[in-house]
Structure 1
Amino acid sequence: MAVFTAEVFQNEFLPDGATDVHAIVTVTSSEAGTAAASSGGVAEIIMVDTSGSMSGRNLDAAKHAAQVAVDQIADGTWFAIIGGSHVAQRVFPYPNAVLDMVQMEPGARAEAKRAIGSLRPSGGTAMSTWLALADRLFATVPQAPQRHAILLTDGKNESEPRGALSSVVSRVTGHFQCDARGVGANWQVDELREISTALLGTVDLIARPEDIAADFSALVQRSMSRGVADAELRVWAPQGAQVLFVRQVSPTVEDLTTRRSVVNPLTGAYPTGSWGDESRDYHVAVRVASKPVGSEQLAARVQVAVGGEVLSSGLVKARWSDDDALTARISPEVAHYTGQAELASAIQEGLAAKAAGDEATATVKLGRAVQLAQETGNDEATSRLRRVVDIDDADHGTVRLKRNTDRLDEMALDTASTKTTRVRR
């Protein structure tokens, strides 16, 4: 059985009159094992864009990547392949098959790869239909609580009414996890980010078609290595307190606040998806009523629960003091991840302003991003930013927008904006 630990990092001392308590909770899972594929507890779906724009190298590479991914799916896993254009089609199991999903075994593996090889490009792009079909297929295997999908596209979602994608994403949220990938420079980062954020997955750019296979292989291997189908972060706060936000801050920034479900009147649960042997950091902020100097209070109890069973717990405390030496301390963990979350926002807002032609705002936002990347030691973000701006003074965030930047460089910066560096302890 998986072992979870929760470790809390904070400065629990608050000045007189203060109300807001911040803490970083590091959750670590060990002995998680691998996905329970052999018992039929795992389901995997691969969605490949087959629209007309995929014609040529992109589709050839995507078909090869899907075949490589099929080789990584463990025997016993329920699986299916979807071809997506302005409509979604179940490619495997074949459309005339009795079952919507089948369990992986050598014969099914060979037939799935043969079916993938027959994909042909045509039509437009309506990703809501792909997700809706995936949701319907997953629903046919209720015995598989661990459900993961990969979605690959090369274009914009332009073959369906505005709002259709958001409506379906909202409807399928919580039903399965999905990693979204875009190949080339003609897709929209915000569209795939909407999918991956809601479905507890990742979004990334694959600049070259020949790199799709390695990415798909890694995604399926990671899915197969996660032996805990679903875990939730529970946050208890005392009567009268307010949970301001709950965010995953490592390995990526994901706001979980609006995904709260009620456990009891004082406790909310936040989904974290499947787990292998890994560690993730969460930023929890709680507002409590101020108390007199010398008072102490439990501000929050953060728990990790799997299948309704609490496996680990950490305490967030508040102590009011008039000692400036105590209250002025800033938790390095809280400071680091606050900066990383602001960095992600600054990059995304800066690129959006640049795309809209607002160079003044873009310069300010991307300059702030450079400054934050420098402060938090995020060398990867700094490197990506240098492809979009000329840095005159990183410490003060003084930059100039580059002219004629490569769209792929901007997309790489955008998709990587939520990836964080771990705090140095």
Structure 2
Amino acid sequence: MVTFSSDVNQNAYLSEGATDVHAVVTVKAVTDSAEIVSDGPAGTGAGPGTAEVIIIDSSGSMEGKKITEARRAAAVAIDTLPDGVAFAVVSGNSSARVVYPTSQTGLAEASAATRSAAKQAVHDIRAGGGTAIGQWLTLTRSLMETRPGAARHAILLTDGQNWESEDVFAAALARCEGVFQCDCRGVGADWRVSELRQIASLLLGSVELLRTPEQMADDFRAVVAAATARAVPDVTLRVWTPKGAAVRFLRQVYPEVDDLTGRGGDVNERTRDYPTGAWGAGTREYHLCVDVVPGPVGTRKLAARVTLVAGDTKLSEALVLAVWTDDTDLSTRINDKVAHYTGQEELARAIQEGIEARALGDDATAATRLGRATQLAAEADDEGTLRRLAKVVDIDDPATGKVRLRRDVDALDEMDLDVSSTKTVPAKR
């Protein structure tokens, strides 16, 4: 049983004529009265109607240690599946094929017998051919569509870059939106972070760098355990705004930054639903900005109602307020949590822009943006990001963001910084 609660952090006071209302909405999901502060493994049983597809890159570049470890990781993931979970294994190169189940269409039900048969089938995967990720996703979509209403999740592993045209890939990816979630894993240094981030963002998943093939098995075990523990599928944030108001943006800001603004669907004239995927125990936080019609000084109004819903069931609700005042001491205060996550969002942008500028040979812009990232990470006491930055730049003064680009940067270290740029640290209590 998962129970939900919502809370709002904001400074509701606005100066006369002001129209933009900022708030951080914190949503907590708790199982068995034990709060868990991050999305992760939450028990051994799967929620009702759970589907899992394991997608393994079997292109030619996987030959050798990588395909051997990928087969082992797939077997570990299969062993992690609780009884009753619907599952399949897909092998992808220039095309895509279902490795298991082999004797039927759709997905198999996890049991001792099917897990054993699936591991045997996985053992026969061989490397060869190119990389057509859109085809892998398309096949996964067709499998997932045989389980409507289930919490549908895939894990995708690759070591390379997609060979399909951008249009073909984008069209395949768009058809998968809303059908299943997908966590992406890149092994080695020859894949594109931006490519897997595009998949993970649209399909409400995550991206991780696996530096060595030996990391695959433990990572697969953790990902599948977490996915099959999420017992509430297809949860949405429903945002109501009053007449004349509009959502300027809605972004998930913890545990990762992900912009949901363009993914909202109209429920009615004043209400939009934003997808958040399946939930287990955990905490997620969202930065909401609403443009409202200003009121006279002394006016107090509801700027937004944020409701977490699954189907027709309301799981939790939070209210965002607006109060106009001529007291500048009240209206100029910035809520600590709003300020923190505004900084975290800027930090992610600064890292990505700095890495992009460095790749283009624009050293001045790269140093400026990575220096700003260093400054923001220091202000947030984000030691993990500072450690990653220090492998890409020499940090002279973190407080002012004074840095020098390093010339001897390991490609994996730069990729690690890029991949981790969207991960955020929680606001201080």
Cα distance per residue 1:375-424 (max 9 Å; x no partner)? 12211111100000011111111111000200000000000000000011
Tell me, in whole angstroms, the C-alpha distance in 1 between the residues paired with 2:243 and 2:155. Answer: 42
Number of aligned positions between the proteins: 420
Tell me, in whole angstroms, the C-alpha distance in 2 between the residues paired with 1:103 and 1:37. Answer: 12
Tell me, yes or no, if structure 1 residue 119 matches structure 2 residue 125.
Answer: yes
2:47–2:232 Cα contact (<8 Å) kept: no
Q: Which residue of 2 aligns with 1:90?
A: 98
1:75–1:103 Cα contact (<8 Å) kept: yes
1:34–1:276 Cα contact (<8 Å) kept: no
Q: Tell me which amino acid in the other structure corresponds to 1:313.
A: E
Moved over 6 A (4+): 32-36
Tell me, in whole angstroms, the C-alpha distance in 2 between the residues paired with 1:314 and 1:214. Answer: 38
Q: Which residue of 1 aligns with 2:6?
A: 6
Deviation at 1:58, TM superposition (A): 0.7
Deviation at 1:289, TM superposition (A): 1.6
**Gaps spanning 5+ residues in structure 1: where?**
none
Deviates more, 1:413-422 or 1:25-34: 25-34
Q: Tell me which amino acid in the other structure corresponds to 2:28.
A: T
Pairing 1:93-242 to 2, within 5 Å after superposition? 93-94=101-102, 97-142=103-148, 144-158=149-163, 160-242=164-246
Deviation at 1:195, TM superposition (A): 0.4
Determine helix, strand or coil for the equivalent of 1:163: helix
Tell me, yes or no, if structure 1 residue 311 matches structure 2 residue 319.
Answer: no
Tell me, in whole angstroms, the C-alpha distance in 1 between the residues paired with 2:312 and 2:408. Answer: 53
Tell me, yes or no, if structure 1 residue 362 matches structure 2 residue 338.
Answer: no
Identity %: 49
Pairing 1:378-389 to 2, within 5 Å after superposition? 378-389=382-393
Deviation at 1:34, TM superposition (A): 6.3
2:250–2:261 Cα contact (<8 Å) kept: yes
Q: TM-score, normalised by structure 2?
A: 0.96
Q: TM-score, normalised by structure 1?
A: 0.97
Q: Of 303, 324, 342, which aligns to 1:299?
A: 303
Determine helix, strand or coil for the equivalent of 1:170: helix
**Gaps spanning 5+ residues in structure 2: where?**
33-41
1:35–1:229 Cα contact (<8 Å) kept: no
Q: Of 253, 259, 262, which aligns to 2:257?
A: 253
Q: Tell me which amino acid in the other structure corresponds to 1:8.
A: V
Q: Tell me which amino acid in the other structure corresponds to 2:99.
A: V
Q: Tell me which amino acid in the other structure corresponds to 1:119.
A: I
Tell me, in whole angstroms, the C-alpha distance in 1 between the residues paired with 2:97 and 2:169. Answer: 17
Q: Tell me which amino acid in the other structure corresponds to 2:158.
A: T
Tell me, in whole angstroms, the C-alpha distance in 2 between the residues paired with 1:132 and 1:317. Answer: 43
Cα distance per residue 1:56-104 (max 9 Å; x no partner)? 111111110010000001111111000000100111112xx12321101
Tell me, yes or no, if structure 1 residue 53 matches structure 2 residue 57.
Answer: no
Q: Which residue of 1 aligns with 2:25?
A: 25
1:35–1:226 Cα contact (<8 Å) kept: no
Tell me, yes or no, if structure 1 residue 77 matches structure 2 residue 82.
Answer: no
Tell me, in whole angstroms, the C-alpha distance in 2 between the residues paired with 1:380 and 1:404. Answer: 20
1:302–1:313 Cα contact (<8 Å) kept: yes
Pairing 1:384-403 to 2, within 5 Å after superposition? 384-403=388-407
After superposition, the CA RMSD in angstroms is: 1.4
Q: Of 309, 325, 340, which aligns to 1:321?
A: 325
Deviates more, 1:396-405 or 1:192-201: 396-405
Determine helix, strand or coil for the equivalent of 2:166: coil
1:27–1:281 Cα contact (<8 Å) kept: yes
1:6–1:27 Cα contact (<8 Å) kept: yes
